Amino acid sequence: MELRHLQHFVAVAEDQHFTRAAERLMVSQSGLSASIRALERELQTPLFVRTTRRVTLTEAGRALLAEAERVLAQVRAAYEAVAAVQGVLRGTLALGSEQCIAGVNVAQLLATFRRRHPDVEIRLRQWGSAALAEEVAAGRLDLAFAYRTEADPEQLRSVALTSEPMTVLCHPDHRLARAGVPLTPHDLADEVFVDFHPDWGPRRATDAAFTAAGVRRTVALEVNDVHSLLDLVDEDLGIAVVPRHFRHKREALTALPLKDTDEAAYETVALVPSPRAASPAARAASPAARAASPAARALMALLDDGGA
């Protein structure tokens, strides 16, 4: 089994199309097909179900995909490690983040990192926290900023960065806004809620707070972006429980503290692979990630000075 066979296999699995994969790899389609057939002969099983429109993975193909991605990631890490010893950091930093993560200025961190390591290609992806944890554990991301998560320490490490209270947002004409007092989950039991997909950190933090308080709630309006959530609350279609910094994104809305629960906090963490799996680019980014927490602002200042 050759590395190029695995590279070709992963490309076809990602594109679900031989022609597109061949174009991306800059090889002939016949050569790509021959490479896949050679791999299937060696493994003595089909890896794809081929149709006129696309190709899909067989059960054996799905099993191979995870291992092939891991092998290719380790090969890339080996090349990057040699370059790092030679004094030049190269390769790719694959970073993931939730939208509007609490306490971390992702753009600033990336700018600092790029100034320090201009030869590293930076890739950024936005997903919910659970998906980010899976991507880091699988080796498809070097680092992710997400909501706190339980993880297998053999695959994933979680580094605490910051914690922020949750806040209730509502329309200024809403009865809660007129009362103008801090609220408990019990005060909100009969409200209509706007919230994110269950994979998102703010939704998970809110669900945990209401579960701890023994209050059931129904999310009637579910969205996957911050601006849609704010628009729905702005039209008085429901209320939202969000990290405190969201209140600055729409000043016209009324923000009220959520109290009487120890679970009502959005805790930002950096998710990184186990030390054995972390690439040189990820290890170089880790100090910057820790610097984004309030506990390490002095380090952030040193990094900024050194990268200017």
* Residue 273, SS3 per DSSP: strand
- Of the listed ranges 4-13, 183-192, 252-261, the least confidently predicted one is 252-261
Q: What is the pLDDT of residue 86?
A: 58
Q: Summarize pLDDT for 115-154 with one digit per residue, the tens.
A: 777 877 888 889 988 888 888 877 777 778 888 876 555 6
Q: What is the pLDDT of residue 14?
A: 87
Q: What is the pLDDT of residue 5?
A: 92
Task: Please give the angle made by the CA atoms of 151, 157 and 158, to the nearest 5 degrees.
Answer: 80
Contact 201, 128 (CB under 8 A): yes
- Of the listed ranges 13-27, 35-49, 65-79, the least confidently predicted one is 65-79
| Domains defined along the chain, listed by start | 3-66 (1.10.10.10), 73-161+268-281 (3.40.190.10), 163-266 (3.40.190.290)
Q: Summarize pLDDT for 66-99 with one digit per residue, the tens.
A: 888 888 877 877 776 676 665 556 677 778 899 8
pLDDT at 238 over 60: yes
Q: How much is the mean pLDDT over the chain?
A: 80
pLDDT confidence tier of residue 52, bands split at 50, 70 and 90:
confident
pLDDT at 280 over 60: no
Percentage of residues in the chain having pLDDT higher than 90: 31
| For range 175-187, the mean pLDDT | 89
| For range 187-206, the mean pLDDT | 92
- How far is 190 from 218, CA to CA, in rounded Å? 9
| For range 173-200, the mean pLDDT | 91
Q: What is the pLDDT of residue 120?
A: 78
- How far is 308 from 305, CA to CA, in rounded Å? 5
pTM over 0.85: no
